[in-house]
Chains A and B, each alone.
Chain A
Amino acid sequence: MIQYIVRRVLLAIPVILGILVVTFLIARAIPGDPCRSALGERATEAACEAFNQRMGLDQPVLVQLGIYMRQILLEGDFGSSIRYSRPVSLMLIERLPVTLELGVSALILAVMVGIPAGILSAVKRNSRIDVAAMVGSNIGVSMPVYWLGLMLAYVFSIFLKDTPFWLPPSGRLTAGVIAAPFYKVWDWQLVSGSLGAQAADFFSNLVLFNSFITGQWHVFSDGIKHLILPAVALSTIPLAIIARITRSSMLDVLGAEYVRTARAKGLAERAVILKHALRNALLPIITVVGLQTGTLFAGAVLTETIFSFSGVGRALFDAITGRDFPVIQAFTVVIAVGYVAINLIVDICYAFIDPRIKIE
């Protein structure tokens, strides 16, 4: 088991290096002078020279790649945004928590609804429930996220205006609603700029988490209200896909011989499904859940744009339209590495669910 996990982790390393190489190549491939695209068109010759030297642009490509990797891997230095003249790492501390909350709630929604729907569908195969669920999920995967977002915003903020169902169409919190960071509430003394302070900032930027642990309930409920529409929009595609894979995986497993054995033992149908079948069906499901985090990241770009959420997706989009290359590069690396990490976790989960993995 340990060996399996270590091996999985080791296997992820070349992929992460590959990600760095790809982002490096993309940055190199962007037409134009790298200095000017990093420092802006009006950068002076001297500034460019200094920049080139610092980035090692006067050296062979391989050396440059090495420098780039060293900066990210060893120094955690992602460079600075051109547009905002701020370190990208600072932007990550601000932006990532927003996307995390959005993504995690969407994922929870997708899993909590998708898996039961899929199970129900598989168990009641060809029933009306099944047909409805599958038609629904087919429509779900075919729907443009941003369109759904716009429609939801229209329905819940305009159509249902003046009803209890009204939901805000944009923003993370209502204007003026600000949560005091937990470390201020608890009066922690943090050395500003230190790793601890950065971590504290990161966690206090998780609006729901921060307001929950400090009991700022008006902020919490406001945050939830603002989160509902984007999370629902974002969860649609993963939900539909999870429901479908759950159904087909359950159908596979329900046809398996050990399920027949379980039934032959006299196990009640509910136990057959929830204990014997589901545990086995879970393998493809968690794979898909892992893969769907990619959809979530991508969907976040669109959803955050629609709902004026200041997460990484929105920032990435702004950076792309603004050709803010250090931000594009850094955010892409972070998202891709996060994606790899999630799929690594999925792989490791396998080992806990499926005993056959251990002897691999």
Chain B
Amino acid sequence: MKRQKLFSALALLVVASLLLVACGSPAAPAQDTSAPADDTGAETGPAGDFAGDILDAGSCDYGGKVLSIEAVDRLTVQFNLCKPDPAFLAKIAFTPFGIQPKEWIASTGGTGELLERPIGTGPYMVSEWVRGDQVVFTRFDGYWGEAGSAQTAVLRWATEGAARLQELQAGTANFVTNISPDDYATVESDPNLVLIPQDNPNVFYIGFTNTFAPWDDVRVRQAVAMGIDRQRIVDNFYPPGSEVPHSFTPCGIPNGCEGEDWYEFDPEAARALLAEAGFPDGFDTSIYYRDVFRAYLPEPPLVAVEIQAQLRENLGINAQVVPMESGEFIELATTGALDGIHLLGWGADYPHITNFLDFHFGAGNPQLGNAHPEIYEVLQQASSIGDLAEAAPLYAQANNAIKELVPMVPVAHGSVAHAASASLGGAYYPPFGSNEFYRMDSGADTLVYVQNAEPISLYCADETDGESLRPCQQVVETLLDYATDSGDTVPELATACTPNDDSTVWVCTLRDGVKFHDGSDFDANDVVASFAAGLDASNPNHVGNTGSFDYFAYLWDALINAE
């Protein structure tokens, strides 16, 4: 009996290892780019032989924006949208929509090696992920563009801002992300270091879920809005260049701060409102946050305690500070499960106001409780208007409604800066996305880059955190890319994407001669397959790490075939 079990366990082990061997073999990074090009005959034949794949939602009833994505020919992809999307170009430049080989996605089934060893067309390929320690990249010599200067790029991480800076000072790193506000002066005064500010529009806000008492009372929310001295927070806990918000969206985003200015700090009026709402002596609540450095919130524990102190002093509200693990916090906060207030923020994925307002105040987002029709109806109306000036009055109306209803309190637009050693050539940081290793020259064989945390997985279609997106961006490319100094998009895997008249059909022309790290050729079917795995919930490869594919769901409004 026991022996039988042992045998079956052993047999299973053997089978499993055989399977792994079989699946694992293509994983070996194929260095030689001269691999026979006809390994996938269909793709290499003349255009006439090309069998184009299609991702088809069938109809627009499922609520999303994508009707279908079609590989028209080997180098042409057509996106058919349900409604016009002014931010389409900005969206497809976003890293989660990176392209991996169709066969590779299929062979992994959306799990396993796919999460550890993405295969893209980028300038670097993953050579090893030493868990808990570093991700090592090797230069991809078959890259279609300008190759990186370092043979090896190393991505490490340190949670502590001081530890990162320390690495830079010690010369063991070339570039580190997110300098603590306190360290700006240190970096600026050190001739060996340079400060690299990042111009990323963002907002830090205090969120309430209005399905919980007392946040269901607008007067309470207004009281908090008036009772928090935002200037004091920005002055003391944010680096120079940070601003007290005029409204939720930073003014740098077109139409961002149309409408009235936010409330003045007025604790007396706030207390009066609170008393009116039935809480003359305040009440007990909790402040939830995650202790993760973000551009919009560089020192979460300090700000949490500061807000705690302000609530107590200005409003008599007794709040308990509850730090949570990042993932858990995001999960509970975004599903509207937190009964107290939560400290969260938003950094722009692409430079469009919809990325701020529609995401947060749209009808479907449970994070802040029941959505307000006064806001989301206006937003829906505005979001299909392509012309900025035409949409401006609507956004003013929306911003005013937000101020009136206070679904949250915008506290700060944070300024953020990274640092590099002065000897790092081409050090930069784009406003959107991450900087790319190949653009920087360490002057040595190795480039070391230190970020805040370890990536969760390297299949970024299913990841949302910047720490995972950054390594992905080195490896996997998107159809378009963000410019290094603005929110504009520039060609990457697509040489151009052109809309039809009402912006509902986009045709992208793909770059020819691009090869993946495994030596296979890049074509339109890879684009369709990559989108399909993320966007189509019924796709067999729609698995990933968590299986939630958030950015597909949020940026394209909904997943196809979702239950």
Contact = CB atoms under 8 A, between A and B. Distances in A.
The reply to whether A and B meet directly (CB within 8 Å) is yes
Interface stretch (B12-20, B211-219, B395-403, B422-430): B12-20
A178 B138 CA distance: 13
Interface string B128-170: 1011111010000000000000001010101100010011011
A171 B133 contact: yes
B505 interface: no
A95 B131 contact: yes
B21 A193 contact: yes
Contact of A85 (B128, B172, B457): B457
A41 B331 contact: yes
A83 B448 contact: no
A195 B130 CA distance: 20
B182 interface: no
Interface residues of B, number: 50
Interface stretch (A138-146, A269-277, A314-322, A327-335): A314-322
A161 B170 contact: yes
A191 B21 contact: yes
B548 interface: yes
A178 B132 contact: no
B327 interface: yes
Contacts of A173: 133
A85 B166 contact: no
Contacts of A315: 132
Given A98-B132, A178-B128, A310-B132, A171 B9 contact: no
B132 A95 contact: yes
Interface string A171-187: 11111101000000000
A322 B327 contact: yes
B132 A323 contact: no
B170 A91 contact: no
B502 interface: no
Contacts of A193: 16-17, 19-21, 24
Given A85-B115, A85-B457, A170 B158 contact: yes
Contacts of A191: 17-18, 21
B328 interface: yes
Contact of B448 (A161, A175, A194): A175
A194 B17 contact: yes
Contacts of B328: 322-323
Interface in B285-321: none
B17 A84 contact: no
Contact of A175 (B13, B115, B326, B446): B446
A93 to B, nearest CB: 10
B24 A157 contact: no
A178 B335 CA distance: 42
B435 interface: no
B545 A176 contact: no
A157 B166 contact: yes
Contact of B546 (A40, A176, A321): A40
Contacts of A195: 13
Contacts, number: 105
B455 to A, nearest CB: 10
Given A168-B170, A175-B448, A44 B17 contact: no
B344 interface: no
Given A170-B163, A176-B448, A322 B325 contact: yes
A176 B170 contact: no
Nearest to A170: B163
B337 to A, nearest CB: 8
A178 B545 contact: no
Contact of A169 (B17, B159, B163, B545): B163
Contacts of A95: 131-132
* Interface footprint category on A: 35 or more
Contact of A321 (B133, B325, B448): B325
A4 to B, nearest CB: 27
A201 to B, nearest CB: 11
Nearest to A308: B158
Interface string A39-64: 01110100000000000000000000
B497 to A, nearest CB: 32
Contact of B154 (A42, A176, A321): A176
A83 B546 CA distance: 8
A94 interface: yes
A195 B136 CA distance: 26
B446 A176 contact: yes
Given A94-B131, A170-B163, A193-B17, A175 B158 contact: no
Contact of B172 (A168, A197, A321, A322): A168
Interface string A153-171: 0000110010000101111
A84 B456 contact: yes
A74 interface: yes
A3 interface: no
Nearest to B150: A176
Interface centre among B152, B170, B332 (most CB of A within 10 A): B170
Contacts of A178: 128, 130, 136
Nearest to B152: A176
Nearest to B24: A192
Contacts of B16: 193
A157 B335 contact: no
A41 B332 CA distance: 9
B484 interface: no
Nearest to B447: A176
Interface of A: 40-42, 44, 74-75, 83-86, 91, 94-95, 98, 157-158, 161, 166, 168-176, 178, 191-195, 197, 308-311, 314-315, 321-323
Given A193-B19, A308-B158, A308-B163, 9 more contacts: A42-B546, A44-B563, A171-B133, A176-B136, A176-B152, A191-B21, A314-B132, A322-B326, A323-B328
The 8 closest A-B pairs by CB, nearest first: A310-B132, A193-B20, A193-B17, A175-B448, A321-B325, A176-B446, A194-B17, A175-B154
